[in-house]
A and B are shown apart, each in its own frame.
Chain A
Amino acid sequence: MSERPLLEVKDLSKAFGGVQAVSRISFALQKGDLLGIIGPNGSGKTTTVNLITGFVKASGGKVLFKGEDITSWAPYRIVRLGIARTFQMVKPFYQLPAFKNMIIPLYSPRVKALAGGKYGDRNAVALDLLEEVGFERDAQVAYKVASVLPQGYLKRLELAKAIALQPEIMILDELFSGLSLAEVASIVPIIEKLLFEGKTIIMIEHRLKELFRIATRVIVLNYGQKIADGSAKEVMESDEVKKAYLGSED
């Protein structure tokens, strides 16, 4: 079906002084895709995400969401449109309990608008969302102060914060990094459920095995350029990709 893509990235580029971090990246995302973005360190993955979400101003190219040009939009406007992202380095508000950390996303004007102009009980919604991402309700993990929570929970908190915004597109930057196999295995169902609910997801990952099980499409970046685009199997068989990844297996 030739529907208009949900997200289109056209020739996106960014130069930081003399360094060309991202160079003419293009891809299109259909609703319901789970796109994996992979590539060696420094290949421009996070920068690409920063460009799409407005945290960095593009040197060239366009980003279109449902046909609308959002290239030079401020981050908060892009979030309000329905694109949410997580950060690679999770930085919660450490002195606050986990559920209090959820208050700020739940205070977002988008949440208010989607709820028909009222906020509802933020505390209750926070607790529900946290339970959905695996904060055990009976152990009251959600009440624990963020500084005592291990990385697995902090990553889930970060995910919950993005889910709270009820986005159409979720961009997850290295969600699996720093997690044990068991922790990753417990988060994957949550992501699959999100897909099932109709969300479109982009995941930047280094953990290729886990990513390939769920990704519908994968693009590979190297030195700021896209060197492959296709299904997981196609991409891994490409010579270019093998060369780029030489020596770095997961």
Chain B
Amino acid sequence: MKKRKERIDRGIKVRSEDIFALTSWREMLYLSAPRLIPAIVFLVLPLVLEPYWQRVLLSVAIFALLAISWDILAQSGMVSLGQALFFGVGAYCSGIMNHYFGISPFFAIPAAAIAGGVICTVLLLPVLRLRGVYFAMVTLIIPLMIERVIEATKIFGGTEGISGLSVIPSKWLELYILMAALLAALFGFRRLMDSDYGLVLKGIKDNDRSVMNAGINIYWFKIEALFIASAVGAFAGAMMTHVYRFVGMPVFALDYSILPIAAVMVGGSGSFAGAVLGAFILVPLSEALRALGGLRIVFYGVFLVIFVVGLPEGIFHFISRKYQQFERWAEVEK
């Protein structure tokens, strides 16, 4: 007797796609829990953690934003191997504005996010028309080249970087701004991608000829997606600059390009929740592994490979499936 695994949507999931007819507190809880839990966690964590782990939480938030930025591009069909570009440009923009022009972080950070978005989008415009592979290659090498250019020409502080930048007045403010930004990004972009606008973007990834055939200028949409993603990345960079009161060459380092991708690979692309989940897993893990020194990066590499090859859908989708469906073994009918 042959058996097969049967997956059936839970009743509430089937209904919640269409009509909202909730019949019990249990059902309401089922639906709201996945949304409330992250919100509560993000808002409460800063209060319960000790200072060292608060720092880690900061890092998590920053990498989560970078991961979300990556996922936006990935869902639109653009694969970025250089989140560090957005991050670094944002970081330097804010650092420069603060150091050379004395602008306060409250203005510098948002300004850097926008400026970073504009600069990166303009920089990458030429490759948007080409096969995805070019976008990937160019985003990979430009930050690395910039790193070396800064090292060689010593502009903007060269290898020393720019230090002594203004700080955000309160430690709590830092953390909660990031938490708020993270929540806003997570839920906001989720809504965006679920909307018809997001559908167009996903369509561009799936079959761009078909979208073009609908009279839609796909390049303009790609530009918009790129701007949004790079602005988010730039924001993360700008925040980092003022949290650490320093910006230097390392902001263009590979770490900032790879870790977000690893986070999304682990957590799962397509839902932003996966990106955040991945960051929540990888960043503390990497902190815990700090003792291993250089071996850490070796782990990333191996980890990355295992997840990309073994669990391509990512953890979030795996969990989501279990939550939304129940599985059972059924007989194969003759």
Contacts and interface: CB of A to CB of B under 8 A. Distances in A.
A107 B214 contact: yes
A108 B199 CA distance: 12
Question: Size range of the interface on A?
Answer: 20 to 34
Interface stretch (A79-87, A213-221, A239-247): A79-87
Nearest to A119: B196
Given A76-B212, A85-B213, A104 B199 contact: yes
B216 A109 contact: yes
A76 B221 CA distance: 12
Secondary structure of the A side of the interface?
helix
B273 to A, nearest CB: 19
A212 interface: no
Contacts of B210: 87, 91, 93, 104
Contacts of A109: 215-216
Secondary structure of the B side of the interface?
helix
A85 to B, nearest CB: 7
Nearest to A81: B215
Contacts of A165: 214-215
Question: Size range of the interface on B?
Answer: 10 to 19
Interface of A: 53, 55, 74-76, 79-80, 84-85, 87, 91, 93, 96, 100, 103-105, 107-110, 122, 161, 165
A55 B212 CA distance: 9
Contacts of A107: 196-197, 199-200, 214, 216
A105 B207 contact: no
B199 A103 contact: yes
Contacts of A76: 212, 215-218
B213 A87 contact: yes
- Which of A53, A100, A107, A161 counts the most B-chain CB atoms under 10 A from its CB? A107
Given A91-B207, A93-B206, A104-B210, A122 B215 contact: no
Interface of B: 196-197, 199-200, 202-203, 206-207, 209-218
A104 B209 contact: no
6 contacts: A55-B209, A75-B213, A76-B218, A96-B199, A104-B210, A104-B211
- Which of B206, B209, B216 counts the most A-chain CB atoms under 10 A from its CB? B216
A119 to B, nearest CB: 9
Contacts of A161: 214
B199 A100 contact: yes
| 10 A-B pairs with least C-beta separation | A79-B215, A108-B215, A105-B214, A80-B215, A76-B217, A108-B214, A110-B215, A75-B212, A104-B214, A104-B203
Nearest to A123: B196
A103 B196 contact: yes
Contacts of B199: 96, 100, 103-104, 107
